[in-house]
């Protein structure tokens, strides 16, 4: 039973670390742009095709 308090303390420390990392990422603007990541694959593919066609001419 002496392991339970140790595990609780460790889990609280790990959860606190994740909370600090999340707050740090929010503070640095990691989650500001929600639209571009959803369309980035589409925009990259379109740009690659246009560049390939221009290189062949």
In this prediction, residue 4 has a pLDDT band, given cuts at 50, 70 and 90, of: very high
Q: Which of 13, 31, 9, 35 is nearest to 22 (CA)?
A: 31
- 39-49: average pLDDT: 64
Give the whole-number percent of the chain exceeding pLDDT 90: 46
Q: Could you give the CA distance from residue 27 to residue 25 in angstroms, rounded to a whole number?
A: 5
Q: Are 31 and 25 in contact (CB under 8 A)?
A: yes
**Is 0.85 surpassed by the pTM of this model?**
no
**What's the pLDDT score for residue 49?**
55
Give the residue carrying structure tokens 């460790």: 10
* pLDDT 10s digits, 6-33: 999 999 999 999 999 999 999 998 888 8
């Amino acid at each position: 039973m002496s392991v339970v308090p140790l595990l609780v303390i460790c889990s609280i420390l790990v959860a606190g670390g994740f909370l600090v990392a999340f707050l740090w990422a929010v503070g640095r603007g990691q989650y500001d742009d929600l639209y571009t990541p959803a369309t980035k694959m589409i925009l990259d593919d379109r740009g690659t095709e246009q560049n390939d066609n221009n290189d062949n001419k």
